[in-house]
Structure 1
Amino acid sequence: MQIDFHHGVTYVAARLAGFEHKAASIIAYCAQYVDDATNAGVIRFDNGALFSRISSAHKMLDYRNFRELANNLVWIPFHFLPGNGGLPATEDPSGKFIDKLICRPNSHVAQEMVRECILRQDTPYALHRLGITMHVYVDTWAHQGFAGVNHRVNEARNLVDEYGKPDRSLMDRLTNYFVSEALPLGHGAVLSHPDKPFLRWGYTNGRGEKIFRDNPKDFLEAADCMCKAMQRYIAGDPNATVPGLPQPDQTAIALLLQNITENSGSLRHQKWLQAIAEGKFSFGKEIVTYIPKGKNSWKFLALGTEETIDRGNEIFSYHPTFLASDWKLFHDALQAHHFYISHDLLPRYGICVA
């Protein structure tokens, strides 16, 4: 999914779940910042203090940049959560290890991840972790059928549009990528098709199976399940019976998912923010913004830098407010999420990843 869903729809779902504007803004910012946290390494301060962070995205989402993209530390815990064939931890899918790694919508793995997040509300970064968790959770719908490793299972051919006719526009774009060995990574072979809410499309996967994807339907289901997850978070009970999206709001979201059809995620995002500002949803009118880098971004407020890419040799001015800054809390949550997924959750399913 792209910024229109990870930020715009996440904000809407958080408000409809019962969060007020400030908390919903934190959750939505973190959900999108997973795609924008491209720098890793140690932050050095002028008083000798240090802070270590990891990245959850790549500097440039370009499938030609194969060496940079082939990074399991990023893909598996943050974008392509393994689905274990849709089975619980006590069962294994038939086939090989790769069958455990393929992403499945709302899998048992994903539900356990959400449960853990709901039960860990006693940290300063709890809301920030919720945003990260929501990013990974909804991506299990968009990235279903693909794995976050370089494997032929991700290959796709015979790409078709919603009418079953050859998708020439995508095929033409793929001819510009040249480095074919990069395409079996994630959903590289179909570029951003899985992430665009308005598309209905199909392909033949690496196993010769014909797959049809209805993104508007899948994304609406993801939004409803995300709302339910956040309602359970507010209740403090991962097993609570909750209503999900109110019906009028669900209808409004469905229409926007289908009718905002710009190829640019940024343009679609602006239309979602406009809909929120116009009061299209039951929580009323709100002004929502997102600044990933530069002046007034979370990073700027924490470190005072407007740079997009860190060189690694910077010395930042230390302020006591850094410890409670949203940027620092996001990175704390990012590491907590990564450790839990890699060292606690996936091993219960017999999945060991680097």
Structure 2
Amino acid sequence: MQIDGHHTLTYVIARYAGVEHHEAEKVAYAAQYVDEATNDKPIHFENGAMYDRIVSAHKMLDYRNTQELANHQVWIPFHFLPGNKGFPSNVKSDGRFIHRLVCKPDSPVARDMLRMAAMHWNKPYGVHLMGIAMHVYADTFAHQGFAGVIHDYNKVDKLESSASSLLQRIKDDLVSGGVSASSPLGHGAALSFPDRPYASWTYQNGEGEKIVRDNISIFLQAADAMCKALQCWKQGDVEIDIDNQPGLTSQQRSIIEHALKTIDDEDGEIRHAEWLKWLREGKFGFATVDLSFDKDGESSWKHRARGQGFIQDGQLVYRYSSSFLNSDWKLFHDALKTYRIEVIRDVLPKYGICIA
């Protein structure tokens, strides 16, 4: 998903699940910030304090720059959570390892990931971790059929979509073919089609299978599952019994479906702006909300936590304040580090999956 999905759609779903604005806003910001946390350099303070952080995404100038993105600690845990072929942890999965790495919607692995997050709900970073979990959970739907490694399985051929003009289809085919031939990582060879909520598209995967995708249907399935997970959170159900939650009402589902179909610009930022406009106009069935996402400006989590940096003894430093320890930016990175270590160390090994 892009920013319209991870930020605004996540916010709307959280509100539909009964989460109040203050927490829903943080969940949505954290969900989107997973795609923005691309810097792993530690930050230094003028008093000698220091804070280390990790990345949950890499900068991608275009879909051909995949050689630099092969980082198992980023793509597999945060964007292409392995689906283990849909098998639970107590069933031994046979076949090639790559098949177990392929992302699957709402897999047993994804449910265990959510249960891991639930164990931290009472921590200061619990809300932020829930946002990270919602990003990953949503991507198990949007990124299904792809793996977070460079592998021929991710190759894409005969990419077609009614959402593109003939000329654009020719361009897409050329770029897709180039990525497939050079570095088929994740859904890189499928370009942005998995992340466009309005798109219907088809392709042939690296094993010659024809795949038909209807993103509106897939995004609606994701929205309903996310709503159920957030309802578990709202009710304190650490077992994450998603199947026992009501999910979206028929009216809520219809509103989201209308938005997915209507807001159909190819540019995710433009779609995001339209979702924000709908929120300001109260089109989602709850009170009007002036929501925003500032990645690194003055109202961003980053700036609020650190302030303006300055050079001291030849090094960029920030003025330390005790409020930093409870800032959203610091808590987000606390949650990010907790998520990665526990998914890689605890969740995936239950399924015999060892990465990074």
TM-score under structure 2 length normalisation: 0.93
Map of 2:218 onto structure 1: 218
Cα distance between partner residues in 2 of 1:182 and 1:21: 45
Q: Which runs of 5+ in 1 are unaligned?
A: none
Map of 1:175 onto structure 2: 174
Map of 1:48 onto structure 2: 48
* Worse-matched range after superposition: 233-242 or 269-278: 233-242
Cα distance between partner residues in 2 of 1:66 and 1:224: 32
Q: Secondary structure at 1:53's aligned position in 2?
A: coil
Map of 1:234 onto structure 2: 234
Cα distance between partner residues in 2 of 1:176 and 1:213: 20
Tell me the alpha carbon deviations over residues 208-228 of structure 1, each in whole angstroms, 9 at most, x when there is no partner. 101000100000110111011
Contact 2:84 2:99 in 1 (8 A): yes
Match of 1:275 among 271, 275, 278: 278
Count of matched residue pairs: 349
Map of 1:7 onto structure 2: 7
Tell me the alpha carbon deviations over residues 33-79 of structure 1, each in whole angstroms, 9 at most, x when there is no partner. 00001110311111111111001111235332233211111100100
Cα distance between partner residues in 2 of 1:91 and 1:167: 46
* Worse-matched range after superposition: 328-337 or 289-298: 289-298
Cα distance between partner residues in 1 of 2:172 and 2:209: 23
Q: Residues 154, 313 of structure 1: CA spacing in aligned structure 2 closer, same or farther, 3 A cutoff?
A: farther
Map of 1:330 onto structure 2: 332
Cα distance between partner residues in 2 of 1:183 and 1:274: 38
Give the AA of the match of 1:214.
D
Give the AA of the match of 1:18.
G
Cα distance between partner residues in 1 of 2:309 and 2:200: 39
Map of 1:67 onto structure 2: 67
Contact 2:67 2:183 in 1 (8 A): no
TM-score under structure 1 length normalisation: 0.94
What is the RMSD of the two structures over their aligned residues, measured on CA atoms?
Answer: 2.0
Contact 2:103 2:140 in 1 (8 A): yes
Give the AA of the match of 1:12.
V
Q: By how many angstroms is 1:306 displaced?
A: 8.1
Contact 1:85 1:92 in 2 (8 A): no
* Worse-matched range after superposition: 152-161 or 124-133: 152-161
Cα distance between partner residues in 1 of 2:298 and 2:355: 37
Map of 2:20 onto structure 1: 20
Alignment of 1:256 with 2:255, yes or no, is: no
Q: By how many angstroms is 1:336 displaced?
A: 0.4
Q: By how many angstroms is 1:236 displaced?
A: 1.0
Cα distance between partner residues in 2 of 1:176 and 1:97: 28
Cα distance between partner residues in 2 of 1:47 and 1:302: 16
Q: By how many angstroms is 1:173 displaced?
A: 3.4
Map of 2:140 onto structure 1: 140
Q: Which runs of 5+ in 2 are unaligned?
A: none
Q: By how many angstroms is 1:174 displaced?
A: 4.8
Match of 1:296 among 286, 299, 305: 299
